[in-house]
Amino acid sequence: MKILVTGGAGFIGSNLCDALLERNYEVHCMDNLLTGKYSNISHLIGNQRFTFFETDIRSMDACKEAMNGCDIVAHLAALGSVPRSINDPLTTNSINIDGFLNVIHTAKELGIKRFVFAASSSTYGDSASLPKVEDIIGNPLSPYAVGKYVNELYAHVYALNYGLSYIGLRYFNVFGKRQDPHGAYAAVIPKFIQQFLDGEAPTINGDGTNTRDFTHIENVVDATLHAIENTNVDADNQIYNVAYGSSTSLNALVALIKEAITSRKPQTTLPNVSYGPFRKGDIPHSLASIDKIKTNLDYSPSVSIKEGIQKTVDWILSSTR
């Protein structure tokens, strides 16, 4: 089977490319390297079953070229980050909505057998209900959330009108290997780890009581593989939460990070965190129900938050040597 991974040089995409090649798929990887990195896939160049297209999903011709001959599409390309979308809603819309439409329309035109795409927990918006259940959402709180919800709507419409088979995966706060710890829009876990290792005091947005359902990359890749290889037709054309299924406060997260670092560098003295204002567009609490994906796709997470942080610390330490 031949599969296209859009955003394949990104954090999640590159890990998925590795896993697909290990399972003997032929992989087309499409990425414009705006946020993805060539270094994430450089080890795959030269593999006869891997082809890299440095192109942009905002070009229909580029989508057709990269998708040509593929059986399955895993669409992960997006401009991530809630704050970035608030600062630049036009580019976010162009990539996350217009780009998505190019990819799914090309998939329909080329007769793709299965379309798996990265949805987002941001779709739950201002819904206060916990845990988050797939069919109960609120109003979106950012341009990023708007785009991700529109993706779900388009997938439904393409299944309804054109018979395209899809599965949407609402990823919850993914972290792990190859996630960039630097930059203004770095995710909290790699950013905090790197800051502690550099002797800097991380800043928590708010008082640290906000909670998230942090999900290690190995769980996310495993769930995505379950969606790609699903043979239960009754599970198709639906949206699923991809999470660990438990919540961790930012204060507890810091404690786990410190524990992981000091267990590997016992002589290290780590600074205390500082606290700043709550971040615009953020939700206070996030916890996913994963009952649906367990039942329909036979998926269960295997890497806990604690183990995942230990793995991430090890990766950052090894990559900075």
- Every domain of the chain and the residues it spans: 2-172+216-242+289-302
Q: Which of 25, 124, 144, 299 is catalytic?
A: 144
For residues 140 and 149, what is the distance between their CA atoms, to the nearest angstrom?
8
| Per-residue b or e along 77-101, where b marks 16 or more CB atoms closer than 10 Å to that residue's CB | bbbbbbbbbbeeeeebbbbbbebbb
Instruction: Write out the chain's pLDDT in tens, 321 residues.
Output: 999 999 999 999 999 999 999 999 999 999 999 999 999 999 999 999 999 999 999 999 999 999 999 999 999 999 988 889 999 999 999 999 999 999 999 999 999 999 999 999 999 999 989 999 999 999 999 999 999 999 999 999 999 999 999 999 999 999 999 999 887 777 899 999 999 999 999 999 899 999 999 999 999 999 999 999 999 999 999 999 999 999 999 999 999 999 999 999 888 889 999 999 887 777 788 999 999 999 999 999 999 999 999 999 999 999 865
Distances (CA, A) of 287 to 83, 120, 191, 246, 303: 21, 13, 22, 6, 16
Known catalytic membership, residue 185: no
Closest CA to 204 of 291, 278, 123: 278
Closest CA to 143 of 159, 160, 120: 120
Report the pLDDT value the prediction gives residue 106, as an integer from 0 to 100.
Answer: 98
Distances (CA, A) of 165 to 157, 186, 197: 11, 33, 45
- The model's pTM is 0.94
For residues 62 and 30, what is the distance between their CA atoms, to the nearest angstrom?
9
Report the pLDDT value the prediction gives residue 283, as an integer from 0 to 100.
Answer: 76
Grouping H, G, I as helix, E, B as strand and the rest as coil, residue 295 is helix
Closest CA to 25 of 53, 42, 49: 49
80 near 142, Cβ under 8 Å?
A: no
HEC profile of 70-118: CCEEEECCCCCCHHHHHHCHHHHHHHHHHHHHHHHHHHHHCCCCEEEEE
Read off the tokens for 11. Answer: 């954090």
117 near 155, Cβ under 8 Å?
A: yes
CB within 8 Å of 96: residues ≥ 6 apart: 78, 79, 85, 144, 147, 148, 150, 151
CATH topology for the 2-172+216-242+289-302 domain = Rossmann fold (3.40.50)
